[in-house]
Amino acid sequence: MPTNPSRLAYFPGCAMKDQARPDELGTLQALALLGYEVEEIPRWNCCGTVYSLAQDDLMRHVGPVRNLVRVQGMGEKRVLTLCAMCYGTLTRSARFVQEPERLERINAFMDTEDDFRGGIEVVHLLTLLRDEVGYEKLASQVKRSLNGLKVATYYGCVLLRPREFAVDDPERPEVMERVVEAMGGTPTVFPERMECCGAYLTVGRSDVVADRAGRILRSARGNGADLVVTTCPLCQFNLDERRPAGAPSLPVLYLGQILAWAMGVDEPAVAALVSKEPATGSPVSTGV
């Protein structure tokens, strides 16, 4: 059965249905304008959030694999996530069960599901834009330019580490910068762009997250950024909501929101930032 290349199975993850719902709405509108028929996978469950490093605790892989079984049930070969954590967990579990003995045990345990046969590719918004849409086509589809808006591209850690699961060169990534350029923005590369935001310490040790968020935001501002962009709802939450007193007040947005605005969708948070005139001359730091 040939699959329709524009049909795209979609795994939202919990954050996109909870505090990051506006990010999801905008991103899905943008994907529709890019020609994708996005279809949420039926009855999905939490990706597992933190990938289990225990080699003998197969139970921790049941959650992510069950989601892949649902993608398989849709007759699809790839599944999109908009979240770095979901991407990491699903990708790594898919690889983990490539070993037949593990797969056999997990399939035997999940006796109410179809057996997982493997061969499902997990794609992230960034890899989709790079590998399927392509920067040039993206640039040609953009309806509104960011007019040189200085966008600090924040990767965080999960998209780039560990190395064998990185969406790009883990030392010198460029995918997010290229996407920003395709939308007419000026990517601001800053030293803390690959630092961890503190991730799930936000639950029990928000002080650690606040400290990290402050450092990341100061670095972005110090390098002249107008805003910070993430491709992970947790990074976005941590940088924005755990921002310590006195830290730069620059906005933290999800990449899909900017993409949506560039594609012509109403996104007031982005519209407020973009200047009416194209940027001229050399960028000037606005300071902290």
Partner 1 sequence: MNEITVFIMGKGYRVPAGLTIMKAMEYAGYLLNRGCGCRGGYCGACATVYRLPGDYKLYADLACQTPVQDGMYIAQLPFTPAERPAYALENLTPDGKTLLALFPELARCVACNTCTKACPQKLEVMDAVQSSLRGDIRQVAEFTFDCVSCGLCTMRCPAEISHHHVWQLARRLNGAYLTPRAEHVKTRVEEIAAGKFKGELDKLVTMTKDELVAAYKARQIEA
Report d(CA 176, CA 81) in Å as an integer. 16
Backbone angles phi, psi at 54, to 5 degrees: -70, 120
The conformation of residue 237, written as its DSSP 8-state character, comes to H
Rounded to the nearest whole angstrom, what is the least distance from the CB of residue 242 to partner 1 in the complex? 15
Rounded to the nearest whole angstrom, what is the least distance from the CB of residue 161 to partner 1 in the complex? 24
Rounded to the nearest whole angstrom, what is the least distance from the CB of residue 68 to partner 1 in the complex? 12
Rounded to the nearest whole angstrom, what is the least distance from the CB of residue 47 to partner 1 in the complex? 9
Backbone angles phi, psi at 121, to 5 degrees: -95, 135
Report d(CA 174, CA 185) in Å as an integer. 14
Rounded to the nearest whole angstrom, what is the least distance from the CB of residue 15 to partner 1 in the complex? 8
Give Cα separations from 177 to 5, 41, 57, 113, 167 (angstroms): 26, 30, 38, 41, 13
Rounded to the nearest whole angstrom, what is the least distance from the CB of residue 56 to partner 1 in the complex? 15
| Angle, alpha carbons 77-81-83 (nearest 5°) | 155
Of 114 and 169, which has the nearer Cβ to partner 1?
A: 114
Cis upstream peptide for 244 (omega within 30°): no
Of 106 and 239, which has the nearer Cβ to partner 1?
A: 106
Which residues contribute to the site for partner 1 (CB under 8 A)? 14, 17-18, 43-46, 48, 59-60, 62-63, 66, 109-110, 112
Q: With CA atoms as reference, report the closest residue to 199 among 159, 258, 229, 253.
A: 159
Contact 154, 180 (CB under 8 A): no
Report d(CA 217, CA 108) in Å as an integer. 48
SS3 81: strand
Q: What per-residue string of b and e applies to 28-62 under the rule 16 or more CB within 10 Å gives b?
A: bbbbebbebebeebeebeebbbebbeeeeebebbb
Rounded to the nearest whole angstrom, what is the least distance from the CB of residue 39 to partner 1 in the complex? 18
Of 59 and 288, which has the nearer Cβ to partner 1?
A: 59
Of 46 and 288, which has the nearer Cβ to partner 1?
A: 46
Of 18 and 131, which has the nearer Cβ to partner 1?
A: 18
Of 20 and 247, which has the nearer Cβ to partner 1?
A: 20
Rounded to the nearest whole angstrom, what is the least distance from the CB of residue 66 to partner 1 in the complex? 5
Tokens encoding 16:
């996109």
Of 108 and 284, which has the nearer Cβ to partner 1?
A: 108
Of 86 and 151, which has the nearer Cβ to partner 1?
A: 86
